[in-house]
Amino acid sequence: MEQQAQPPLRVGMVGYAFMGAAHSQGWRTAGRVFDLPRQPVLAVICGRDPAAVSAAADRYGWADTETDWRTLVARDDIDLVDICTPGDSHAEIALAALAAGKHVLCEKPLANTVEEAETMARAAETAYARDQLAMVGFNYRRVPATSLARRMIADGRLGTLRHVRVTCLQEWLVDPEFPLTWRLRREQAGSGSLGDLGAHIVDLAQYLAGERLAGVSALTETFVRERPLTDGTEGRRTGAVTVDDAALFTGRFASGALASFEATRYATGRKNALRLELNGERGSLAFDLERLNELWFHDAGQPAAEAGFRRILVTEPDHPYLDAWWPPGHGLGYEHTFVHQARDLVHAIAEGRRPEPSFADGLQMQRVLAAVEESAAKNSVHTPTSD
């Protein structure tokens, strides 16, 4: 193919924890499964601890390492900077990378504040004029089943939307002895379940609905307010949890559809129950990330005697991404979302198309989260999502 004549895409990744491992898998695998116009190269991995970053490079297969992201960003043998750090450093790194002429992939949430996100979106817009692309990593859009859901909704299979309900239920904070990690401190994580899980479900809801939330009414809670410290800081044994443990909110879409959201880390027994259901005048769709190869569809046009939610096993060649994978019935896993993300971003770069979700999408999401926090602080009063 002529496309293959394009140069490889040299990736520099910052961060090597959970997201770093997942992104590595994505970059390493995308070109082995899909026909890509540019071949991703795992060029440089960057982290502050020299020994740890070197071990990560060996493990994940990166050719080189850096210990300062400023150096990474400045290298001219890097085409794209992939940001897998906690949210408090996203803005600084992304702005520097865009300024240095790189494409950027930034893990969600885009930033910890609306202000940072605004700056980033503006910088992305400016960079786009210079053919640099910037994308936020809402990987759950790229589960084949959610992509299929989006396609069906765009095709009008649900008709006028009435309801969107989404939860993301996890359980890892149920134990009050679970320690106070960075994810439980506002200064690093920005928020708790809201930014971590809520961001995913709001993004998915808006992506699938094909429209934006107009306003929200919210409730947040921190059930366990003190947790053991792991680092013995200042001789104290426990420290304050400064983020939300759970966030519940309802909302209205621009079209008038109603939405409800719940993000929690206290749903005992639920590992990653990102569940969604959309009801429209012509049909309904339902999905559960714990069974990610399935999409449930109810077609309101079926005769009543034969109607029902049907379980679509999303492993057919006609399904999104699936023509490149295995035969029907041979399911994919969580990490494939990162392979698909890498694939889509490479195509966007090769074609100069603005990738989705863009930094502007990331900013809008941030505004929704801010409205959630504002409503929660104001007795749940319905709070418009400023645009």
Q: Which residue has the tokens 């309802």?
A: 250
Q: Is 38 in the site for a second copy (CB under 8 A)?
A: no
Nearer to a second copy (CB atom), residue 118 or residue 277: 277
Of positions 252, 348, 354, 374, contacts a second copy by CB under 8 A: 252
Nearest to 368 by CA among 203, 231, 256: 203
Nearer to a second copy (CB atom), residue 100 or residue 174: 174
Q: Is 25 in the site for a second copy (CB under 8 A)?
A: yes
Q: Is 235 in the site for a second copy (CB under 8 A)?
A: no
Nearer to a second copy (CB atom), residue 171 or residue 211: 171
Question: What's the min distance (Å) between Cβ of 218 and a second copy?
Answer: 8
Nearer to a second copy (CB atom), residue 130 or residue 379: 379
How many Å apart are CA 252 and CA 255, to the nearest integer? 8
240: its two tokens: 């304050």
CB 54 within 8 A of CB 85: no
How many Å apart are CA 242 and CA 256, to the nearest integer? 34
State which of positions 264-303 bind a second copy (CB under 8 A): 264, 266-273, 277, 279-284, 289-294, 296-300, 302-303
Nearer to a second copy (CB atom), residue 69 or residue 297: 297
Question: What's the min distance (Å) between Cβ of 320 and a second copy?
Answer: 9
Three-state SS at 115: helix
Q: Is the peptide bond before 317 cis (omega within 30 degrees of 0)?
A: no
Beta strands in 170-236 (DSSP E): 213-221, 226-228
Three-state SS at 171: coil
State which of positions 322-341 bind a second copy (CB under 8 A): 326-336
State which of positions 141-170 bind a second copy (CB under 8 A): 148, 152, 158, 162-163, 165, 167, 169-170
Among 98-106, 186-194, 213-221, 232-240, the segment contacting a second copy (CB under 8 A): 213-221
Buried-exposed string 187-203: b where 16+ CB fall within 10 A, e elsewhere = ebbbbbbbbbbbbbbbb
Nearer to a second copy (CB atom), residue 132 or residue 170: 170
Q: Which amino acid is at 138?
A: F
Among 72-80, 81-89, 199-207, 214-222, the segment contacting a second copy (CB under 8 A): 214-222
Question: What's the min distance (Å) between Cβ of 180 and a second copy?
Answer: 18
How many Å apart are CA 359 and CA 361, to the nearest integer? 5
Question: What's the min distance (Å) between Cβ of 117 and a second copy?
Answer: 25
213: its two tokens: 């939330």
Nearer to a second copy (CB atom), residue 79 or residue 245: 245
State which of positions 2-21 bind a second copy (CB under 8 A): 18
Question: What's the min distance (Å) between Cβ of 99 and a second copy?
Answer: 32
Of positions 70, 236, 310, 353, contacts a second copy by CB under 8 A: 310
Q: Is 347 in the site for a second copy (CB under 8 A)?
A: no
Three-state SS at 118: helix
Size, binding site for a second copy by CB under 8 A:
96
Among 64-72, 89-97, 181-189, 377-385, the segment contacting a second copy (CB under 8 A): 377-385
Q: Is the peptide bond before 357 cis (omega within 30 degrees of 0)?
A: yes
Q: Is 177 in the site for a second copy (CB under 8 A)?
A: no
Among 8-16, 53-61, 98-106, 121-129, the segment contacting a second copy (CB under 8 A): 53-61
Question: What's the min distance (Å) between Cβ of 66 and a second copy?
Answer: 20
CB 154 within 8 A of CB 211: no
| Alpha-carbon distances, residue 241 vs 19, 221, 234, 235, 328 (angstroms) | 23, 11, 16, 17, 46
Three-state SS at 219: strand
Q: Is 60 in the site for a second copy (CB under 8 A)?
A: yes
Classify residue 50 as exposed, middle or buried by CB count within 10 Å of its CB (0-12, 13-18, 19+).
exposed
Check residue 259 and report its DSSP letter.
E
Q: Is 114 in the site for a second copy (CB under 8 A)?
A: no
Q: Is 223 in the site for a second copy (CB under 8 A)?
A: yes
